[in-house]
Amino acid sequence: MTGTRARRTVVSVAVSAALACATACTSGEPSASPPPASAPPGSAAPSSSPPAITGPSADALRSVERATGRAGSARVESTTVMGRELSLEAAGALGWRDGGLTGTLTITYTGGTTAETMRRLGTTAMEARYLPDAYYAKMGDAFADRVGGRHWIKYVYEDLEDLGGGAGAGFAEQMRNTTPHQAVKLLLTAGDVRRVGEETTRGRRTTHWSGTVGGETAQTVDIWVDDRDLLVKKVERGRTKTGELTQTAYYSDYGVTVSAERPPAADTADFKELLASQAG
């Protein structure tokens, strides 16, 4: 592999890592059309939202939004499939107190073309650390060999917002909003939101709510809520340019202690610098 091709592959993997972090347990609208060339694959496209719902359903969902938001943290398990491009599993704990996102997820690539590319570079799983100003993705040894021995990629949210075409701003906002109560906010924009009924979810009695959001993308959002108004399960379905997107997430242990340390600077490559090296 030539030096130029190697650098491009490294940047491709870096973008794929960003995608994995963003989709691991994010609430967002999948794009009905291809995103701008500078955007990570599968990034959400801006769209207008319908007016928020009113009435008893809205009151019930706002109670869920408040309770889940106040809880401040939870353990997360999720699976995500993005058409033929990527499938992954994620597990860990996230916190969302004080307006910032913190926590750690272990993300395992289970299939798709992106996963195959990353697997060829020795990366089959990744540790993602979320901090209020940035997140960090730990890659494999083969990746480190191509970037001066550094195993971590650092993504500063402000740098993502500066990506061309305005694509990064929406992507950075997605990264900041990787919390369960964002799914409730999304559902509150659904014009057809409805209470499906009572169901047992992982041994717990829950209330199932469902709705369609996203305009032309026809994204569906389903949530299952326990008697404390806390999310137990979330399922989102929609379409991307590579096929159907399906994400299922389970939440437990609300209020769990969450922490995430910054990796050593000497073992960290900056995403913005990787992009610059590709341009060079």
Indicate if the pLDDT at residue 17 is higher than 70.
no
**pTM of the complete model:** 0.82
Q: Say what the pLDDT of residue 171 is.
A: 60
Indicate if the pLDDT at residue 218 is higher than 60.
yes
Report domain extents, the chain.
Answer: 54-58+72-187+241-277
Indicate if the pLDDT at residue 35 is higher than 50.
no
Q: Which residue has the higher pLDDT, 110 or 12?
A: 110
90 contacts 80 by C-beta, under 8 angstroms? yes
Among 40-44, 144-148, 161-165, 256-260, where is mean pLDDT lowest?
40-44
CA distances (Å), origin 64, targets 56, 57, 231, 277: 13, 11, 7, 46
Element (H, E) at 135: strand 134-138
Mean pLDDT for the stretch of residues 223-233: 96
Indicate if the pLDDT at residue 189 is higher than 50.
yes
30 contacts 44 by C-beta, under 8 angstroms? yes
Among 18-27, 72-81, 112-121, 126-135, where is mean pLDDT lowest?
18-27
